[in-house]
Amino acid sequence: MLFRSQERPRFPYEYPAHLQSQTEDLPRAAGVYYFHGEGQSVPLYIGKSVNIRTRVLNHLRTPEEARMLMQTRTITHVRTAGDIGAQLLEAQQIKALQPLYNKKLRRLQRLCSIALDLAGVRFVYSNEPDFRVRESLYGLFGSKVRAVEALRTLADEHGLCYARIGIERTVRGRPCFRHATGRCAGVCCGKEDGLAHDLRLRGALASIEVAKWPYPGRVAIEERDDGGRQLHVIDHWRYCGSAGSLREARKLKIADCEFDRDDYYILAKPILQSDFKLWEL
């Protein structure tokens, strides 16, 4: 989706009549659509919808998108069998092509998550080979700074000790600064049992826990519409691709790539809640 501004558009809006004829053949079905500029190999914008034609027509009526509409010369599309396929394809295409007018769904170079150990917490990264298979992880952050900010917020909400969880240094056995202000229950100076504190830490982190992959290997999520059938192959939350049959689906293998946060957010609900027919591969 494009970022929209409350300010008046910099470019005067005039209905893009040069694009009207191209909307006539767009399907009222799910898929991904592309706005192309003159002689450009990379699309200006990539979007998805469960009704491509209606969504594209909405773009044409939006003054805030005047600049993009003035540059657009052709509109193309790819059908999918449903919303999941459209979301996965859109995310994949935006990250691969980096269109000028797509501000969201940019690929993060490395995700940071929180893991627990005997010393409190530590930070693990998505470029580590076993990032998603070795332990419980909490949160999917764009940087360590964001992860630490989230930890501070949880600590403040639950009276946890910065020193105990490892985001602030203090002299062993002496109370931390937050204990003096009543925001730490005193695990740092022996006034609170360490086990009780750590149980509260686990409870606080539970709200941002990354779901464990619930299958021994790859699965395929099935979507169908009037246009056909698609099987989206997933391996430990990573999208391998889509196929039209189980035979084709079994041939799809995941590339040697990192865990993708957007794929996880797209897939977690339909897989964990069993909203769709699913095949173990």
What is the rounded CA–CA span in Å between residue 224 and residue 268? 19
What is the rounded CA–CA span in Å between residue 28 and residue 50? 8
- pLDDT score of 6 more than 60: no
Domains delineated in the chain: 17-97 (3.40.1440.10), 112-208 (no CATH), 219-280 (no CATH)
Per-residue pLDDT tens over the stretch 129-167:
667 656 789 999 989 999 999 999 998 898 888 888 888
Query: Taking the CB of residue 117, how many other CB atoms lie within 10 A of it?
Result: 9
Across the strands, what pairs with 112?
125, 141
- Confidence grade of residue 195 (pLDDT, cut at 50, 70, 90): confident
- Confidence grade of residue 5 (pLDDT, cut at 50, 70, 90): very low
3-class state of residue 243 by DSSP: strand
What mean pLDDT value characterizes the chain?
86
What is the rounded CA–CA span in Å between residue 223 and residue 242? 10
Per-residue pLDDT tens over the stretch 32-91:
999 999 988 899 999 999 999 999 999 999 999 999 999 999 999 999 999 999 999 999
Q: pTM value?
A: 0.82
Per-residue pLDDT tens over the stretch 201-255:
999 999 999 998 899 989 999 999 887 899 999 998 889 999 999 999 999 887 6
Average pLDDT of span 110-116: 89
State in Å, rounded, how far the first CA of the chain is from the last one. Answer: 34
